[in-house]
DNA sequence: CTGGCCGATTAACCTATGTTGTAGCCGCCT
DNA sequence: AGGCGGCTACAACATAGGTTAATCGGCCAG
């Protein structure tokens, strides 16, 4: 709402990345805002290259990333590795911890990361007392799946150049939502090895591919800063269609389905059950 | 439970594939069973090769597959296509229709398919009145994501032979849950083109790969019937680790989180706010 | 200052997989 | 009966991307 600084943004309690992200989906009430900030109360800092979660490990708390980057990845017994997705500020880890016994993937930090965590039991509470907020979190989780499916399309059917372009545009879009990208540039705290693992390529080939993108003037790289000179064109190279990011606001039927029609108090907005 | 026939299994109302699948995760009460069968009341048959959902289309009802196979796939503007997952009896389509405006993928039947459908609004009702059932459905959805992530690992880091072996074992495991596979054989109503699109390979190469699997005696193909002679060995070729299928029963904390602690009776709903 | 390590970069070479084209089979329509 | 379309099968050839190996620069510990 107010113009945003690019600072880690945790001055005012309510503008955490998660809040920003959810707000892009639906307008949150003050109650909801407050409850959300409750969830982000217990905060810890994790050093770079440390595991937030390990494949096979039992799930523990739910974690909210407040600052920094991480990767979600899976490994084969012989060491080959696939990065499933990048975990950015505003993303949630272990949302399914209530449903699954143990994790089928690892999450490892790339930079120093600030995480909030809360016990899984609160999810039940959330669904009961703040159904719209719960719906927004479900949206965030469903979007995650959509991103993985899109990456699958990339690995299966896009060439190395297309994949790489696609990923860059995706990151740009995602980071914009949490005010971490401006005019097409952002910090990409990632080695080429990690890019390779994300795109199913060899490290040498990712290097070649980045070179081609640079040579064609589509992007610039200075250290960890990447600049996209012409987003439209890069998107077209990557056949990027942002439909899968589901960035549009919640459909009207969401209110019908998830509005809290049980507590006339607290939730404060209407009820009027249907059918 | 009782010994199972391989018949479509819809004689007794409660043993639908979805019920079977969810029961493998948690024991459902009679109320829950009943409500589930309510959801499967409106039934329609779809011919083979027809769309249940089209990329870009607005979401409509939630659909439960009761019989037959379909694929969930995404296409690039130039026609290249990736099959994201196979949709089997007991699977659900459009679970996120409340959250998203329009679909980012298509679903197309491979065989004749029997689908039940219900309006998205009932999901809210479900979460309020039958939280354990809702949790089981959430489990099913989360598992879906896990499968896509595992396929991503396949496309990114497994060879054609490994991928193919992996997929076959996965299908075998999934079909077993709904009693559609016995002693390592099942019906695979799929052309090689579709396998190719699922595994990110060319149709010619999938053909070569199946040949290798047959020549090595790991599988047999007779028309659409596939027989896995040695599951252990095939799983080992595909580096298959079923952790990602999350086939184990619900963790204990699920009950703590989702048990309906609001209604001592059955359908009643109400409250006791938190904090 | 210096050695060691990590990551980026490039060249040369190799191979898994893609492409193109042909043939055979089977079921189905007329 | 003939022919057509969809699918499998395979051979021959082409290439995107993998592998290996060498170099270079930056950073840090001693």
* A70-102 residue pLDDT tens: 999 999 999 999 999 999 999 999 999 999 999
Measured between beta carbons, the chain B residues lying within 8 angstroms of A246 are 99-101, 104
Distance, in Å, from the CA atom of A117 to the CA atom of A41, rounded to the nearest integer, reads 8
Residue with tokens 């990027």: A240
Q: What's the pLDDT band for B259 if we cut at 50, 70, 90? A: confident
Instruction: At B176, give phi and psi (nearest 5°).
Output: -60, -40
pLDDT classification of B264: cutoffs 50, 70, 90: very low
Instruction: Assess whether pLDDT exceeds 50 at residue A7.
Output: no
A158-168: average pLDDT: 98
Per-residue CA distances from B157 to A51, A85, A135, A226, A260 (Å) = 21, 15, 34, 27, 45
Place of tokens 């019989």: B67
Q: Please write the tens of the pLDDT for every residue from A120-141.
A: 999 999 999 999 999 999 999 9
Report pLDDT for A14.
65
Cα–Cα distance, B121 to B44 (Å, whole number): 20
Chain A partners of B126 at a C-beta cutoff of 8 Å? Answer: none
Instruction: For residue B258, name the pLDDT band (cuts at 50, 70, 90).
Output: confident
User: B31-85 pLDDT, tens per residue?
Assistant: 999 999 999 999 999 999 999 999 999 999 999 999 999 999 999 999 999 999 9
What does the mean pLDDT of chain B come to? 90
Task: Tell me the average pLDDT across A142-164.
Answer: 98
Give residue B25's pLDDT: 97
Using only C-alpha atoms, chain A has a radius of gyration, in whole angstroms, of 19
Helix segments in B61-202, DSSP class H? 121-129, 131-157, 160-177, 192-199
Residues 6+ apart with CB under 8 A from B2: none
Q: Is the CB of A207 under 7 A from strand C?
A: yes
The three-point CA angle B9-B11-B13 to 5° equals: 100
Segment 176-215 of chain B within 8 Å of chain A by CB: 197, 199-200
CA–C1' B9–D5 (A): 35
pLDDT computed for residue B102 by the predictor: 95
CA distance A83 to A257: 35
Residues of B with Cβ-Cβ distance to A138 under 8 angstroms: 96, 99
Beta bridge partners of A118: A62
- pTM recorded for the entire structure: 0.91
**B240 Cα distance to chain centroid:** 18
Give the pLDDT band of residue A258 (cuts 50, 70, 90): confident
C1' (C19) to CA (B233) span, angstroms: 32
Q: Which two tokens stand for residue A201?
A: 């390529």
Q: Quick one: pLDDT band at residue B255, thresholds 50, 70, 90?
A: confident
Q: For residues A9 and B117, give the distance between their C-alpha atoms in angstroms, rounded to a whole number.
A: 44
Nucleotide nearest residue B162, measured CA to C1': C16
Helix axes A131-157, A30-39, angle to 10 degrees: 60
CA-nearest of B49, B63, B72 to B120 is B63
Q: Band of the pLDDT at A269, cuts 50, 70, 90? A: very low
Select from B185, B184, B205 the least CA-distant residue to B193: B205
On the question of pLDDT at B248 being above 90, the answer is yes
Centre a 10 Å sphere on the Cβ of residue B95 and count the other Cβ atoms it contains: 21
Q: Is the dihedral of CA A16, A17, A20, A26 positive or negative?
A: negative
Other Cβ atoms less than 10 A from the Cβ of A265: the count is: 8
B98, B124, B151 ranked by CB distance to A152: nearest = B151
Under an 8 A CB cutoff, do A82 and B197 touch?
Answer: no
CA–centroid distance for A142 within its chain: 11
Q: Apex CA A211: angle with CA A208 and CA A217, to 5°?
A: 150
Query: According to the model, what pLDDT value does residue A256 have?
Result: 87
Residue A78: CB atoms within 10 Å: 8
The encoded tokens of residue A123 equal 């999810």
Q: How far is A65 from chain B (nearest CA, A)?
A: 20
């Amino acid at each position: 709402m107010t113009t945003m600084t690019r600072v880690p943004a945790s001055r005012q309690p309510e503008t955490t990345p998660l809040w920003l992200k959810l707000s892009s989906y639906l307008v949150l009430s003050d109650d909801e805002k407050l409850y959300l900030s409750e969830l982000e109360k217990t905060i810890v800092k994790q050093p770079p290259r440390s595991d937030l979660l390990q494949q096979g490990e039992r799930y523990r708390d739910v974690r909210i990333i407040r600052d920094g980057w991480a990767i979600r990845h899976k490994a084969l017994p012989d060491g080959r590795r696939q990065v499933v997705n990048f975990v950015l500020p505003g993303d949630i880890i272990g949302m399914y911890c209530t449903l699954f016994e143990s994790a089928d993937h690892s999450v490892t930090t790339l930079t120093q990361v600030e995480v909030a965590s809360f016990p899984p039991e609160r999810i039940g509470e959330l669904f009961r007392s703040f159904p719209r907020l719960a719906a927004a979190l479900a949206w965030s989780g469903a979007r995650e799946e959509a991103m993985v499916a899109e990456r699958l399309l990339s690995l299966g059917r896009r060439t190395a150049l297309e994949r790489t372009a696609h990923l860059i545009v995706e990151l740009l879009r995602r980071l914009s939502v949490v005010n971490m990208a401006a005019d097409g540039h952002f910090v990409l705290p990632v080695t080429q090895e990690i890019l390779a693992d994300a795109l199913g390529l060899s490290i040498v080939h990712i290097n070649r591919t980045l070179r081609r993108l640079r040579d064609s003037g589509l992007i610039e790289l200075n250290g960890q800063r990447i600049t996209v000179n012409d987003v439209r064109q890069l998107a077209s190279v990557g056949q990027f269609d942002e439909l899968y990011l589901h960035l549009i606001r919640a459909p009207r039927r969401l209110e019908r389905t998830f509005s809290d029609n049980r507590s006339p108090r607290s939730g404060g907005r209407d009820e009027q059950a249907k059918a």
